[in-house]
Amino acid sequence: MIDLINSVENKIKSILNELNIQEDNVKVVESNKAGLGQYQYNGVMAIAGKNGYKPQELAQKICDLLIKDDNILDANVAGVGFVNITFKTSALINQVNKYEVEKDKICVVKNHKIFIDYGGPNVAKALHVGHLRSADIGEGLKRLARKLGYEVISDVHFGDWGRQMGMVIAGIEERMPNLPFFDENFKGEYPTQSPVTYKDLEEIYPLANIKCKEDEAFLEKCRKYTYELQNGNAGFVALWKLFVAESMKPVLKTYDFLNVSFDLYEGESTCNDLIAPMVKDLLDRKVAYESQGAVVIDVANLDDKVEVPPFLVLKSDGAAMYSTTDLATIVNRQKRFSPQEYWYVADNRQSLHFTQLFRATKKANYVDENTTFTHFAFGTMNGKDGKPFKTRDGGVMSALTLIDNVKTEIRNKMADNNEVNDEICDIISSATLKFADLSNNRETDFIFDIDKFCALEGKTGPYILYTTVRANSVIKKAQMSDIENFELLDIDNKSYIDVLLNLIKAPVVLQRAFEQKALNVICDYLFVLSNSFNNFYSQTKILTESDESKKKSYLKLCSLVSKVNEEFLDILAIKVPERM
Ligand code: ARG
Per-residue pLDDT of the chain (580 residues; tens, 9 = 90+): 458 999 999 999 999 999 999 898 999 999 887 778 999 999 999 999 999 999 999 999 999 999 999 999 999 999 999 999 999 999 999 999 988 777 666 666 778 999 999 999 999 998 999 999 999 999 999 999 999 999 999 999 999 998 899 999 999 999 999 999 999 999 999 999 999 999 999 999 999 999 999 999 999 999 999 999 999 999 999 999 999 999 999 999 999 999 999 999 999 999 999 999 999 999 999 999 999 999 999 999 999 999 999 999 998 888 889 999 999 999 999 999 999 999 999 999 999 999 999 999 999 999 999 999 999 999 988 888 888 777 666 667 789 999 999 999 999 999 998 889 999 999 999 999 999 999 999 999 988 899 999 999 999 999 999 999 999 999 999 999 999 999 999 999 999 999 999 999 998 999 999 999 999 999 999 999 999 999 999 999 999 999 999 999 999 999 999 999 999 999 999 999 999 9
**Pocket-testing residue among 115, 118, 125, 131, ligand 1, by greatest number of atoms within 8 A of Cβ:** 131
CA–CA gap between residue 329 and residue 156 (Å, rounded): 12
Q: Which atom of ligand 1 is nearest to the CA of 326?
A: 10
pLDDT at res. 5: 92
Q: Measured in angstroms, how far is the CA atom of residue 560 from the centroid of ligand 1?
A: 40
Which amino acid residue places its CA nearest to atom 7 of ligand 1?
120
* DSSP string covering 166-219: HHHHHHHHHH-TTSGGG-TT--SPPPSS-SS-HHHHHHHHHHHHHHHHH-HHHH
CA–CA gap between residue 268 and residue 357 (Å, rounded): 14
Ligand 1 site, residue 117, Cβ cutoff 6 A: yes
pLDDT at res. 107: 65
CA–CA gap between residue 77 and residue 86 (Å, rounded): 12
**Pocket-testing residue among 350, 355, 380, ligand 1, by greatest number of atoms within 8 A of Cβ:** 350
Q: Measured in angstroms, how far is the CA atom of residue 247 from the centroid of ligand 1?
A: 16
Ligand 1 site, residue 119, Cβ cutoff 6 A: no
Which amino acid residue places its CA nearest to atom 2 of ligand 1?
120
User: Dihedral, CA atoms, 219, 225, 231, 234, nearest 10 degrees?
Assistant: 180
Ligand 1 site, residue 159, Cβ cutoff 6 A: yes
**Pocket-testing residue among 117, 265, 345, ligand 1, by greatest number of atoms within 8 A of Cβ:** 117
pLDDT at res. 541: 95
Give the closest residue to 262 by CA, choosing from 350, 159, 152.
152
CA–CA gap between residue 534 and residue 559 (Å, rounded): 14
Strand partners, 343: 116, 374
Q: Where are the domains of the chain?
A: 4-87, 399-571
Crossing angle between the packed helical segments 399-413 and 422-438, to the nearest 10 degrees: 120
Ligand 1 site, residue 326, Cβ cutoff 6 A: yes
CA–CA gap between residue 193 and residue 495 (Å, rounded): 62
Which amino acid residue places its CA nearest to atom 11 of ligand 1?
326
Classified by CATH at the fold level, domain 399-571 comes out as Isoleucyl-tRNA Synthetase; Domain 1 (1.10.730)
Query: Quick one: CATH architecture of 4-87?
Result: 2-Layer Sandwich (3.30)
CA–CA gap between residue 232 and residue 255 (Å, rounded): 31
What's the N-to-C CA distance of the chain in angstroms?
36
Exposed / middle / buried, residue 307 (Cβ in 10 Å: 0-12, 13-18, 19+): exposed
Give the closest residue to 455 by CA, choosing from 416, 497, 410, 407.
410
CA–CA gap between residue 357 and residue 164 (Å, rounded): 21
* DSSP string covering 116-173: EE----BTTS--BHHHHHHHHHHHHHHHHHHHTT-EEEEE--BB-SSHHHHHHHHHHH
* DSSP string covering 274-324: HHHHHHHHHHHTTSSEEETTEEEE----TT-SS--PPEEEE-TT----HHH
Determine the 3-state secondary structure of 430 from DSSP: helix
Cβ contacts of 210 within 8 Å, gap of 6 or more: none
DSSP tag of 423: H
Which amino acid residue places its CA nearest to atom 10 of ligand 1?
326
pLDDT at res. 1: 45
pLDDT at res. 2: 55
Give the closest residue to 120 by CA, choosing from 313, 326, 319.
326
Strand partners, 155: 117, 264
Ligand 1 site, residue 267, Cβ cutoff 6 A: no
pLDDT at res. 24: 87
